[in-house]
Structure 1
């Protein structure tokens, strides 16, 4: 049995439930349209910094923020289009703006669709007309995020897209990684290193990009919790980013469609013709063993 309830917490929160599986998903449209919690049988899967979440002027650290129209940051937070320079902060604006709920379905799965339209605020930093429609689907122990990107401009629409899931973890030393690549690039130094399935969690920060992916699936096993998280992504996402900070109870495994600064360099940039749309999908599965 599936249901969608609405609770007025700090923000209006939509709670999607698969009651037989004991799976629950919380979505907050006005806080970047983001998923803030995901629980299976009472077990929390996502990290959330509740203090930052409660402060509307701060970007949320936790849940599953949406990255659009860029992933990562731009040099000096700027890019040039048609000879004009624009300022766009890290990961873009979709994760900070209110989204609108357009559809709720509880037949065969719990499904919630949210929309973000271009507006005066977005046009000031990104001079295009667009509509994003994201559908969150919860069934059993699986969460799928279906995305539709639509160009409503009379000019081509350049963008990159991604997600920034924060997974909760008490001891990173119990993690095992299956990532379909044998090398990664440090996002700060640009140094490329071989990957043998583990990281040095003694470092203050790890911020690396896997750019040579050989399949559309990656997984992380938390042997402490007996939990395997599997991330499946379409070929629209040729990059996986891993990020964590020492002393913080989270790690992030992020599907990106393009690397940092793609809006300036054009590398892996998605460009939509006027009046066309583009679909993508990301799926997360949690299995306790």
Structure 2
């Protein structure tokens, strides 16, 4: 387990998936990250690579060959190596190996870079194409935040405040977790989306090409808040298990397949292209307070 901290925050990261397991705010003694109750949802904040979302028939099509690939990719199940750390900084790395090449035939290094500054945690995805040909991939975050923050409060005391007052339209998912082709409006009041126990009855809310690049989870009557800023991520998922005491705010670069015929990786919507030898980086931040 890797720990980074300062006077205000203590953050822990586990080797499996380079996954955040705790964001602890010291002044208020508050744990803000969901603690992965396995009877409800056994993750904290999985990192999604080399795909985001589900694939038709759980298959990724590359150069005319179908490779088995489960939803959200293999990174969250893989063991990352800590390659660098200090009191407030850590880098964890996954390199291509025989196991990854069996399902994803590219040579790569996928790094998660964590950096603490005051009450803000910066999370950077760094992908290096170490092969001799171009590669295609997606990355995404899936952090789950405890709601409510304090005892005696209710889930419905909290709202998600979007940076911009914009109409929200979610792209609906089928029972198989693929886009159905249907959309529906998501009502807000003055750029705020109220959390309710039935908000996610039809699975995640998926927003493509969102104008907002910042969302704040906060109590509707107080200033306590968790803010996720994602300047490098044009797509966003919001999700929770119905009735569970958390909400996921998920910056994405990529998303699920649509219902219909399988799509080759280079034609999948929102995939990232990386030429041989090139480096990709994208950052989001989590701020407490």
- Match in the other structure for 2:24: 39
- Match in the other structure for 2:13: 27
What SS is found at the alignment partner of 1:95? helix
- Match in the other structure for 2:241: 245
User: What is the TM-score normalised by the length of structure 1?
Assistant: 0.84
1:162-173 aligned at under 5 Å gives the runs 162-170=140-148, 171-173=154-156
Whole-angstrom distance in 2 between the partners of 1:202 and 1:83: 42
Q: In the alignment, which of 211, 214, 217 is matched to residue 214 of structure 2?
A: 217
2:125–2:139 contact (8 Å) kept in structure 1: no
Specify whether residues 250 and 224 from structure 1 end up closer, same or farther in structure 2 by C-alpha distance, changes over 3 A only. farther
Whole-angstrom distance in 2 between the partners of 1:267 and 1:82: 17
1:157-196 aligned at under 5 Å gives the runs 157-170=135-148, 171-179=154-162, 180=164, 181-183=166-168, 184-188=170-174, 189=180, 190-196=182-188
Q: Which runs of 5+ in 1 are unaligned?
A: 1-12, 54-59
- Match in the other structure for 1:234: 231
CA deviation profile, 1:170-207 (whole Å, cap 9, x unmatched) = 43211122224422222335323144132553353541
Whole-angstrom distance in 1 between the partners of 2:118 and 2:242: 33
- Once the two structures are TM-superposed, the CA of residue 227 in structure 1 deviates from its matched residue by 2.1
1:241–1:256 contact (8 Å) kept in structure 2: yes
Whole-angstrom distance in 1 between the partners of 2:78 and 2:167: 37
Q: In the alignment, which of 259, 276, 283 is matched to residue 274 of structure 1?
A: 276
Specify whether residues 52 and 88 from structure 1 end up closer, same or farther in structure 2 by C-alpha distance, changes over 3 A only. farther
Q: In the alignment, which of 66, 76, 80 is matched to residue 85 of structure 1?
A: 66
Whole-angstrom distance in 2 between the partners of 1:14 and 1:258: 28
Whole-angstrom distance in 1 between the partners of 2:81 and 2:118: 25
What SS is found at the alignment partner of 1:76? helix
- Once the two structures are TM-superposed, the CA of residue 225 in structure 1 deviates from its matched residue by 7.5
Q: Which runs of 5+ in 2 are unaligned?
A: 149-153, 175-179, 258-262
CA deviation profile, 1:82-116 (whole Å, cap 9, x unmatched) = 1111110010011111000111123xxx0011111
Specify whether residues 154 and 280 from structure 1 end up closer, same or farther in structure 2 by C-alpha distance, changes over 3 A only. same
- Once the two structures are TM-superposed, the CA of residue 209 in structure 1 deviates from its matched residue by 0.7
1:285 aligned to 2:287?
yes
1:165–1:253 contact (8 Å) kept in structure 2: yes
Whole-angstrom distance in 1 between the partners of 2:113 and 2:81: 12
Whole-angstrom distance in 1 between the partners of 2:85 and 2:11: 13
2:239–2:248 contact (8 Å) kept in structure 1: yes
- Aligned pair count reads 262
Per mean C-alpha deviation after superposition, the further-off stretch among 164-173 and 274-283 is: 164-173
2:125–2:282 contact (8 Å) kept in structure 1: yes
